A and B are shown apart, each in its own frame.
Chain A
Amino acid sequence: MTELNIFMQHNAIVDLIDGMSLVLKKRLTERQIEEPAVIGIHTGGGWVAKHVHRHLDCTDALGLLDISFYRDDFTRIGVNPQVKPSRIDFEVEGRDIILVDDVIQSGRTIRAAMNEIFDFGRPNSITLVCLIERGGRQIPVQPDVIGLRPPLQPNEHIRLNGPDPLSLEISRSRTPRASGNGQ
């Protein structure tokens, strides 16, 4: 049985992303990165990335990645029925990339996303921005900028709904859920 709990609504989430974007801008200035390009990971990461992209006022269009074909469990779970084409309309080679996702847990999604980015070209750097950071890392991947780090039990699962309005929802199951969706 699962219980559902909306714990953050649209305006608060947008404020959170605004805050993250300020921290990110500071980070970019420190590293002397002047022309970053933003890539969001379908689906939730894309929604967050859209706000970040607006804040950074980038000249290039927002890139979107669907990592379905790069997942390490692809042959076990098969093709995602809602797979969408990945789209990066700018040259990745030599660029400073801002990679955005909604929730990071095991780190496998980010590993897959980085592999996919490298198939587009060799970036100069990747800065990782995650709206929600939760424990459960199975791979040594850590975000550079975090929105929120809610304390969650193993049997609690967090999800970003959207795109408009955005909401963050926590569900509780009887048994701890493994990071099945590859976060």
Chain B
Amino acid sequence: MAGKRHQNFQLNEQGGLRHFLTIDGLSRELLTRILDTAESFAALPGRPVKKVPALRGRVITNLFFENSTRTRTTFELAAKRLSADVLNFNVSTSATSKGETLLDTLRNIEAMHSEMFVVRHNQSGAAHFIARHAAPGVSVINAGDGRHAHPTQAMLDMFTIRKHKGEFTPLRVAIVGDILHSRVARSQILALNTLGVTEVRVVGPHTLIPTDARAMGVHVYHDLDQGLRDVDVVIMLRLQRERMAGALLPSEEEYFRLYGLTNERLAVAKPDAIVMHPGPMNRGVEMESEVADGPRSVILQQVSYGIAVRMAVMSMCMQTYEAGGEGA
């Protein structure tokens, strides 16, 4: 087991987090620790001073190669609530050689003594690439890479589920929508299975579910009513318009008719089932407004928990090492 830990590139020598790139390879114990740490931060909005001094004077850089105001803003807010200083770099991906650009950008910013990078890129593996080339003592957090992973989103979803449901073990969770193109879904499936839920289901049209889905440890449904039956948690994924253009779907109306969440469809789930969405949501496509604004929806809470979870991940990754390499 110790050997496996050393192989997990995200961990430092003491088995703690150094990079946060993917849920893959992280233990249930570590994921639980992230959630427990986030509890301390979830209470901050109730205070006059919504900050802790833990990362005072440290520099965190948002390195966003793919545009996202929402995600960048929550990471920025999380860093500021840890009292860190924040640099924002929105890098265009129109440069000729992507590999060179990534490394050049990295070295430039490292020269400004940034100790942590939050990276979003439209290429899968980009965050890993940067982490492998990062200088000692520098941490990388994946804010979404291509279709591969979005681990902080998955963790805030897990935090939301735990807040409402307590334990993970008895839960049946349904993830509905474009699983094929969703880095969020991939990370959620990994997290749910690692945390030991009873069942993970994916629900969607054949064209939007990966052929190797079962290998991911999920049950596949193409019928929404069957997929939602008796579930405790419903996660609706965003439908991207490009899928219609790519002829993977006939139309938004068709999608809504077959897979859109309405109160009527939600009735087959457990009576206390919660409804989640990573955002941004297309009303009338993924779900109707009555559900989005209804009593079972926890969508707005996901947003505020997102800050607490990102604070937890950042504070766990950020650490300097004494010359002897001892942690305590």
Interface residues of A in 69-91 (CB under 8 A from B): 69-70, 74-79, 81, 83-87
Interface residues of A (CB under 8 A from B): 66, 68-70, 74-79, 81, 83-87, 115-116, 119-121, 180
Most buried by A among B43, B51, B53, B318: B53
The reply to whether B320 and A76 contact each other, CB–CB distance below 8 Å, is: yes
| Interface of chain B, main secondary structure | loop
The reply to whether A66 and B40 contact each other, CB–CB distance below 8 Å, is: yes
Top-6 shortest CB links A-B: A119-B49, A69-B52, A69-B54, A85-B40, A78-B319, A77-B328
The reply to whether B315 and A69 contact each other, CB–CB distance below 8 Å, is: yes
**What are the residues of chain A within 8 A of B39 when measuring CB–CB?**
84-85
Instruction: Kindly state whether residue B36 has any CB partner on chain A within 8 Å.
Output: yes
Residue of A nearest to B319 (CB): A78
- Which of A76, A79, A115 sits near B322, CB closer than 8 Å? A76
The reply to whether B37 and A119 contact each other, CB–CB distance below 8 Å, is: no
The reply to whether A83 and B37 contact each other, CB–CB distance below 8 Å, is: yes
- Which of B43, B47, B312, B318 sits near A75, CB closer than 8 Å? B318
**What are the residues of chain A within 8 A of B295 when measuring CB–CB?**
none
Most buried by A among B43, B52, B316, B322: B52
Residue of B nearest to A78 (CB): B319
Q: How large is the interface on B (under 10, 10 to 19, 20 to 34, 35 or more residues)?
A: 20 to 34
Residue of B nearest to A112 (CB): B53
C-alpha gap A83/B48 in the complex (Å): 21
How many whole Å from A110's CB to the nearest CB in chain B?
A: 16
**What are the residues of chain A within 8 A of B48 when measuring CB–CB?**
119-121
Given A81-B33, A83-B40, A85-B40, the answer on whether A69 and B53 have CB atoms closer than 8 Å is yes
C-alpha gap A77/B51 in the complex (Å): 20
Given A70-B52, A119-B49, the answer on whether A75 and B42 have CB atoms closer than 8 Å is no
C-alpha gap A116/B48 in the complex (Å): 11
Most buried by B among A76, A87, A180: A76
- Which of B51, B82, B319 sits near A119, CB closer than 8 Å? B51
Interface residues of B in 155-172 (CB under 8 A from A): none
Interface residues of B in 19-58 (CB under 8 A from A): 33, 36-37, 39-40, 42-43, 47-49, 51-55, 58
Residue of A nearest to B49 (CB): A119
**What are the residues of chain A within 8 A of B99 when measuring CB–CB?**
none
C-alpha gap A66/B40 in the complex (Å): 9
